[in-house]
Amino acid sequence: MLTGFVALYIFMLAAFTGYEIIGRVPSILHTPLMSGSNFVHGIVVVGALFALLNATSLVEQIIGFFGVLLGAGNAAGGYVVTERMLQMFKSSDKKKA
Amino acid sequence: MNAQLIIDASYLVAAFLFIYGLKRMSSPVTAASGIRVAGLGMLVAVLASFLYVFGVNDAAAPHLNVNVALGAAALALGFGWAWWSGKKVEMTAMPQMVALYNGMGGGAAAAIGAVELFRSSAQHETIPLVVTIIGSLIGAISLSGSLIAWAKLDGRVNGTWRFTGLQLMNGSVFFATLALGLYIAFVEHGHAPVAITAAFFALALVFGVLMTMPIGGADMPVVISLYNAFTGLAVGFEGFVLQNPALMIAGMVVGSAGTLLTLLMAKAMNRSVSNVIFSNFGATGDEGQG
């Protein structure tokens, strides 16, 4: 599976990808991009769901429940807030054009 | 077996959509559509992950009904609350909402680590165990730090904590947390008593608070961006522990993009990141330093 060097390759290539995506971005997009990347790490909800479904004790179930709850909040909240920010961006762009 | 194949394929699609969506978001012309592309990726990944139901380990099988019900309830509550709060919040209050949601993500990453560390039946190997602990540490710091950032921007916490020796105290709390984490990893091999594991998480949360309290409101966007990168890293690390490539890729992309974004934002304000975190800018001059 994803052990040892394969995992390191994934991490390395992903880190370069992130760096290249953000390079040379105009400063007006800093906040929406921060919010957008905040949404992307909301994928953690999937991992929390996996942990919860494999829980075997009450402690694991409680922690897993809160993990899924928090992760779902991250994903949904991140999406709504980013979309609203970018929507504002779009309309102000149209007015200028 | 087939379920696993569908899950893996969905994660590949989701990882592509995340990266493509972020790429579109980095240009003003295509930005608005970028978030929809990334949102589609999230939808694919979350829907596919329900197929985990067919692949749980034998020990968890008797608890499956309860676990599925808990998962569905947590998803509905989390999505519902965040959707509602994100829709109704004022445009001017956006930055603190980003901080709040980001902290939730960090908390979720820490929770994944906590489930691993509290599972008494788990067989821990050294490298995944160390990664679990580092991910939990970063996630917990991001959780409490982001909550303080939210509270400050929202006007719920006013003023800043500053006194001589603050840096020293923060440093000692941090090293105590790290030492406890290493103790759990190398002395107890992940099977530390519950009290010690709980103390590790508590100290990490306390450090997040201590680290954020001295920072003034004007610097908060940079700090939120830094915690955003922290959460990304924590998610990437916990993804490695769970052997989940979607978490690894999305987390690491955000980790590096967030770090670069933090540097760019600090530069746009003519400040360096270490200045923001360590020098207590914006209060009464230099007295806080040292």
Q: Residue B177's pLDDT band (boundaries 50, 70, 90)?
A: very high
pLDDT for B161: 72
Task: Tell me the residues of chain B between 121 and 150 that have a Cβ less than 8 Å away from chain A.
Answer: 121
Q: Is the pLDDT of residue B162 over 80?
A: no
In a domain, A47, yes or no: yes
Mean pLDDT of A68-85: 94
pLDDT for B280: 54
Q: What is the pLDDT of residues B230-244, one digit of tens each?
A: 999 999 999 999 989
Quote the minimal CA–CA distance from B123 to chain A in Å: 14
In a domain, A67, yes or no: yes
pLDDT for B15: 93
Q: Which of A39, A69, A79 sits opposite B78 (nearest CB)?
A: A69
Q: How far apart are CA B60 and CA B57, in angstroms?
A: 6
In a domain, A13, yes or no: no
Most A CBs within 10 A among B6, B17, B102, hence the mutation to make, goes to: B102
In a domain, A38, yes or no: yes
In a domain, A62, yes or no: yes
Could A42 and B105 be called an inter-chain contact, meaning their C-beta atoms sit closer than 8 Å? yes
In a domain, A69, yes or no: yes
Cα B240 to the chain's mean position, in Å? 15
- Provide the domain count of chain A: 1
The residue of chain B with its CA nearest to that of A53 is B67
The ipTM of this complex is: 0.89
Q: What is the pTM of this model?
A: 0.90
Q: Is the pLDDT of residue B265 over 60?
A: yes
In a domain, A20, yes or no: no
The residue segments making up the domain with residue A61 are 28-89
In a domain, A50, yes or no: yes
Q: Residue B258's pLDDT band (boundaries 50, 70, 90)?
A: very high
Q: Is any Cβ of chain B less than 8 angstroms from the Cβ of A47?
A: yes
Q: Is the pLDDT of residue A94 over 60?
A: no
Q: Is any Cβ of chain B less than 8 angstroms from the Cβ of A8?
A: no
pLDDT for A72: 95
Q: How far apart are CA B270 and CA B201, in angstroms?
A: 35
Quote the minimal CA–CA distance from B100 to chain A in Å: 8
Task: Tell me the residues of chain B between 172 and 211 that have a Cβ less than 8 Å away from chain A.
Answer: 194
Quote the minimal CA–CA distance from B290 to chain A in Å: 31
Q: Residue B38's pLDDT band (boundaries 50, 70, 90)?
A: very high
Quote the minimal CA–CA distance from B280 to chain A in Å: 23
Could A56 and B74 be called an inter-chain contact, meaning their C-beta atoms sit closer than 8 Å? no
The residue of chain A with its CA nearest to that of B121 is A56
Short-list B9, B107, B122, B7, CA closest to B55: B7
- Which helix (H) or strand (E) segment holds residue B40: the answer is helix B31-49
Q: Which of A14, A23, A87 sits opposite B248 (nearest CB)?
A: A14
- Which helix (H) or strand (E) segment holds residue A96: the answer is helix A58-96
Q: Is the pLDDT of residue B127 over 70?
A: yes
DSSP state of A17: H
Q: What is the pLDDT of residues B63-97, one digit of tens each?
A: 888 999 999 999 999 999 999 999 998 888 888 89
Q: Is any Cβ of chain B less than 8 angstroms from the Cβ of A53?
A: yes
Q: Are residues B228 and B256 in contact, defined by beta-carbon separation less than 8 angstroms?
A: no
Q: Residue B36's pLDDT band (boundaries 50, 70, 90)?
A: very high
The three state secondary structure string of B219-265 is: HHHHHHHHHHHHHHHHHHHHHHHCCCHHHHHHHHHHHHHHHHHHHHH
Q: Which of B26, B46, B98 sits opposite A21 (nearest CB)?
A: B26
Q: How far apart are CA A59 and CA B31, in angstroms?
A: 42
Cα A1 to the chain's mean position, in Å? 24
Higher pLDDT, B126 or B251: B251
Q: Is the pLDDT of residue A96 over 50?
A: no
* One-letter amino acid of A17: T
Cβ atoms within 10 A of the Cβ of B176, count? Answer: 15
pLDDT for B229: 95
pLDDT for B282: 43
